[in-house]
Structure 1
């Protein structure tokens, strides 16, 4: 008997102030009746619940933080923004009471001193009621997180008569949480903004009538009308019309792409000039845009190695701080007769300075910001682990066809060997190829169309395919051949060999005994390939290698032209896989760049698999670690720079967050540590690491 899979429901969460609170919310939901499991994605501000429970019960599990849930979906929920004074009225009132308290204390009048203490106490209760609610619950359960530390410190400060400092700690901690929540919202914004790209409605033809239909209600097979200047609401194929489409939102490319009948268009792209009739091919939750948003949000929830380290560190760090604070409070008075109130105060300061806010947020804010930045530039990074791996790459292997080259054979040379006019030669060659199923036939047809030659006017009789050699057919009174040298009595060897040495496929055209032309066909190198390889070498990539199943001469010609350091030709998929494993042993971190389909084994085995052409290619989106949506190799140096900047900022944040704590803790030795210094050290560190992480928004793609 098989177990029925648990019901799955995903909600968007509003109100997260810190990663620790997100972890507590996840644990609370996991303990609800009927819940099998729950996973919080702090980076995307979402929770996925497996099991049978209600939205109200899940929301109640987050009541300690005042969390609010909305149904997950493609539509961005528009919520009214509360005025600042209403949203943070408890902070404003707390701050106002602190000012009154200090004003009263400065008068020196005894009654005013009592009023001052009462005012500080009111500020503590009003500003910290949510903090205390969670802190006391955690204390009774012996769960020691940052709120538990703060609760003990503030209550302790009040007990030893430091009401003013206790109130200031409450206010500054609340401000710190607001800043932390704001910085994470700012980091998430780049992905949330993608939800607004596709219009919420579209003009649809149903039952012969035009009507405006909500995107959620549009079905596969519906006919969508898109006017010039409008955004496309759904993925589909063009039935009628032609236009230039701005695909920057999906692929990151700034130049509009020409689209004609039969071409695919994507939700969220802009129709520049033509009137289009489009047949819808995907529902709203399955569009390329929806997949990008979903995959990026999932990526933001994946923990990078540095984040996993921080989580483990914080788990042991908090209890250690508790023990250290206790020892600071009791050992000096017991051993050397120190003043109890002074050393208890020092111990409370240790609790405050030990609050791990800055450390916990140091990594996620950088990861979320970087992944969001990449997505807006047409690059899908599937998780923090791949983002970090990119920055450590020592070698990159490239597939040739479709990666370093365009993947489409093109006619590059035609040498006349007789007196027949060039246009007549093209007419005969293209009409022969029109009857062929050979992969190179398209190159001839394309060339004829470029030259505006109507090859259909020429009639071919007795067409024949010569397996492995070429084709032939009777045109007029003669039988003409197009293919390898073996079809002809003799061919000019010098020109033939020269073209072959350039890595081109060379064919001969003519009658059996009279060659009339040599035609060279090649898979053209991408314009950016050489520039990208040079840029990667400048960035310090030690090894670049081209792996291809093509023959040696073609591979050598292309590899030498673009400047890769090593060329491996005539490879089967399993041989590519073996080479990737060898390079990993030699260089450590290795990336494989391919098309996401026929290079699957090598892509999977490498440290980072990078797929070309993610837009509209489900295989690339689902199997690669990174997808270049625009099929543009020039994005590669950009994501390596972005990754290295992310690694650098994460290291800076962790070092600073730990360093500032240690520096503040050293002030305990001479007895200089105060609650003021402690909370400013914690708040200042949190603010600086978040601002440092948000710097990744500014890293641009240099084109």
Structure 2
């Protein structure tokens, strides 16, 4: 037998090993939990994965060391960066900032649009200025505005419009009697207006030895000017600017899907103070403070109800569509909505530690972690881009040297090759899909810890479930009532009177069942427990007993008339409670852990989305397992298992060729969760452990959202494949059209930026998936 403590240690060790196994490269994946400077006393900064990586999995010299570095909070600066339209932009900015003397560590992540750096003796203004030199806009992220957008600069959009006007004027005037010089000047103005940003970015890209799209476009535009193609040059730059503007706006929508969660929480709380209710900023409210939440208001902070009864809409946290009844002693979460009664709540978490704050933090970290497909594409692009430069130079020089065609024609074809071969659409094909899918899941009450786990979830063929608390409620309830010489109502009324003040789970189940059926307890007195056997109470002058069959056997009361029924109920996993006097048996109550209402529907939907096997793993006896299996409709079940047996069961499924997920509570089933390809924990809203250790967390304490998660993962994989193939086919078609002379430079740009935009829009469909 493995103790819970050992399970926890083994799980963490196995989990770390499993994550390391998933990591395709040290700079591509880092599954350790990062903490931002605005929410903890000390932060951790790790490389985002935008840096270089070779195929043997080792970091290059110019990549930030992967090991987490403990930092003082006031040294870690976090900025929102706008204008990045693919991961090569993030790499260019990262290399530029790393070259500055005051920057000690730097991490720029394209997926989330965030830059984290360690720098001493520097102001926000200086950082923003340096970022703008590289062609991007940065704004510091404040504590409250952690996940909120900085004000969107309209500069790029305005610049694109003005450039387009000059380009159109020049083109129209070229068909009039006005001298061609006027059109050329207008083209030049258009070129300069739209070309400042990519030109500046190209300069810093070349200086930091990063050959990104800005470098390719700038070289192509300058080349077109050199051969007198001013219209081509201006059109190339304007189309590039237009494409970047549209791409940036689209990508920002995917990033907003998570940042907007922060808007769910109120900025103020109504705090009880010296007998009065005072409005305070949530940042000023400490643990232990009493806050008042009226009907219709949002709960501002995590806490525990100390007075009041209400229904709480927890959809923002757990994805549950039906409000949950809450009373004194129950936990409530920031961002949830109080539907009815007024509540007094004792605050248990500071604003930066609330469930919703942790969800946002974990999801943004997940979006920063590259999936295997994305890691491969980025490594491919890192090698591919320099190769394209060499090929373009060869196209420009070699054919004319050997006497095939004119220098001007081949120079133009080389410029086209530079533009067409840019891998922008290919590089962006995966991260936008990953960010969109993880954002969708988070809004529906599911935390997916990274692209690796999203991809693996889409390949699952078998899911193993712990029984207790996963498929079943995890707490007993009444399943059968057998009355002998009195009615069922009388049996329950007597039982409720005896168990009225007991806190034993069986007693609680009997009282709850009686209350649900509007059965009042009989008037009893002198109720007392009989250690290890049951309880007793005087009712209408006679002593009644409620307890195990052994209690009645000791009193010499025969159960001959109901022995067969008792035996059958016990085989099915029921706990038997007998009700009677010292001389006669009056009734039998069977109590058992019951199947959750949502379980059967969830398992049916899992089969619909392509899960071939659903397997129940339990430590209970065969009879109990068989009954629950028949009620839930699982494909297979395995009973009487110890923790290590569950591990072996998961390994057995894997040996059969299945990609296996294990669903449990994150602690008791820790070894099996770590062994499976993916560990899925339930009830993450109430347990920090589940959030920290599982690969996927179902925030609600049921399986309702699991089918959606699998369906979403499979659709994400399908969209990623569509994006990659579409990007490759467009490139090949454009390349084929270069050499016969059917492709112009501006059409090459249109094909590249158009393909990137289509890929982004295709990925954004994941945000809308219901």
Specify the TM-score bucket, using the shorter chain as the normaliser.
over 0.9
Name the counterpart of 1:341. Answer: 408
Contact 1:169/1:679, CA 8 A, preserved across alignment: yes
Distance 1:410 1:465 in 2: 22
Corresponding residue to 1:409 among 476, 479, 487: 476
Distance 2:657 2:488 in 1: 52
Distance 1:87 1:101 in 2: 21
Distance 1:606 1:115 in 2: 69
Change (3 A) 1:436 1:207: closer
In the alignment, does 2:288 pair up with 1:221?
yes
Name the counterpart of 1:464. Answer: 530
Corresponding residue to 1:542 among 612, 615, 618: 612
Distance 1:485 1:414 in 2: 19
Corresponding residue to 2:169 among 100, 105, 125: 100
Q: Which moved more, 1:218-227 or 1:571-580?
A: 571-580
Contact 1:432/1:471, CA 8 A, preserved across alignment: no
In the alignment, does 2:663 pair up with 1:593?
yes
SS of the residue aligned with 1:309? helix
Name the counterpart of 2:548. Answer: 483
Distance 1:88 1:252 in 2: 37
How far the C-alpha of 1:430 sits from its partner, in A, is 3.9
Distance 2:139 2:552 in 1: 73
Name the counterpart of 2:598. Answer: 528
Change (3 A) 1:511 1:189: same
How far the C-alpha of 1:124 sits from its partner, in A, is 1.5
In the alignment, does 2:88 pair up with 1:20?
yes
Name the counterpart of 1:244. Answer: 311
How far the C-alpha of 1:141 sits from its partner, in A, is 4.9
Name the counterpart of 1:73. Answer: 143
SS of the residue aligned with 1:460? strand
Superposed counterparts of 1:357-396, under 5 Å: 357-396=424-463
Change (3 A) 1:272 1:534: closer
Distance 2:490 2:168 in 1: 94
1:217-263 residue CA offsets vs partner (Å, 9 max, x unmatched):
11111111112221111111112221111212111122222111221
Name the counterpart of 1:515. Answer: 585
How far the C-alpha of 1:574 sits from its partner, in A, is 2.2
Q: Which moved more, 1:386-395 or 1:532-541?
A: 532-541
Structure 1, unaligned runs of 5 or more: none
Distance 1:72 1:23 in 2: 24
Corresponding residue to 2:112 among 13, 21, 44: 44
How far the C-alpha of 1:427 sits from its partner, in A, is 4.6
Contact 2:96/2:204, CA 8 A, preserved across alignment: no
In the alignment, does 2:647 pair up with 1:581?
no
1:445-502 residue CA offsets vs partner (Å, 9 max, x unmatched):
32344444346833235x4224xxx325474665735113575154232211332344
1:555-588 residue CA offsets vs partner (Å, 9 max, x unmatched):
1110122111111112222221222222223234
Name the counterpart of 2:45. Answer: none
- Matched pairs, number: 689
How far the C-alpha of 1:516 sits from its partner, in A, is 2.6
Distance 2:535 2:80 in 1: 68
Distance 2:682 2:759 in 1: 34
Q: Which moved more, 1:94-103 or 1:685-694?
A: 94-103
SS of the residue aligned with 1:220? coil
Change (3 A) 1:542 1:4: closer
Q: Which moved more, 1:305-314 or 1:136-145?
A: 136-145
Corresponding residue to 1:5 among 70, 76, 79: 70
Change (3 A) 1:669 1:501: same
Distance 1:540 1:378 in 2: 22
Superposed counterparts of 1:303-702, under 5 Å: 303-417=370-484, 419-420=485-486, 422-433=488-499, 438-450=504-516, 451-454=518-521, 457-460=524-527, 463-466=529-532, 470-473=533-536, 475=538, 480=545, 482-485=547-550, 487-488=552-553, 489=556, 490-491=558-559, 492-510=562-580, 514-700=584-770
Change (3 A) 1:265 1:676: same
How far the C-alpha of 1:123 sits from its partner, in A, is 1.8
Deviation beyond 6 Å, 4+ runs, structure 1: none
Corresponding residue to 1:183 among 218, 229, 250: 250
Distance 1:434 1:41 in 2: 59
How far the C-alpha of 1:438 sits from its partner, in A, is 4.6
SS of the residue aligned with 1:244? strand
Superposed counterparts of 1:129-144, under 5 Å: 129-144=196-211
Name the counterpart of 2:221. Answer: 154
Q: Which moved more, 1:157-166 or 1:623-632?
A: 623-632
Q: Which moved more, 1:62-71 or 1:482-491?
A: 482-491
Structure 2, unaligned runs of 5 or more: 1-67
SS of the residue aligned with 2:71? coil
Distance 1:295 1:349 in 2: 43
Change (3 A) 1:81 1:325: closer
How far the C-alpha of 1:156 sits from its partner, in A, is 0.9
1:85-134 residue CA offsets vs partner (Å, 9 max, x unmatched):
x553322222222223223333366xx22232232222222211121122
Change (3 A) 1:335 1:522: same
Name the counterpart of 1:90. Answer: 159
In the alignment, does 2:266 pair up with 1:199?
yes
SS of the residue aligned with 1:667? helix
Distance 2:149 2:162 in 1: 29
How far the C-alpha of 1:81 sits from its partner, in A, is 5.7
Change (3 A) 1:216 1:509: same
Change (3 A) 1:538 1:443: same
SS of the residue aligned with 1:634? coil
Contact 1:136/1:151, CA 8 A, preserved across alignment: no
Contact 1:10/1:46, CA 8 A, preserved across alignment: no
SS of the residue aligned with 1:458? strand
Corresponding residue to 1:29 among 97, 101, 126: 97
Distance 2:522 2:345 in 1: 31
Distance 1:36 1:560 in 2: 61
Change (3 A) 1:97 1:480: closer
How far the C-alpha of 1:283 sits from its partner, in A, is 0.7
Change (3 A) 1:436 1:631: closer
Contact 1:436/1:471, CA 8 A, preserved across alignment: no
How far the C-alpha of 1:642 sits from its partner, in A, is 0.8
Normalised by the length of structure 2, the TM-score is: 0.85
In the alignment, does 2:339 pair up with 1:272?
yes
Contact 2:92/2:210, CA 8 A, preserved across alignment: no
Q: Which moved more, 1:560-569 or 1:13-22?
A: 13-22
Distance 1:393 1:282 in 2: 36
In the alignment, does 2:196 pair up with 1:126?
no
Contact 2:462/2:614, CA 8 A, preserved across alignment: yes
SS of the residue aligned with 2:667? coil
Contact 1:241/1:261, CA 8 A, preserved across alignment: yes
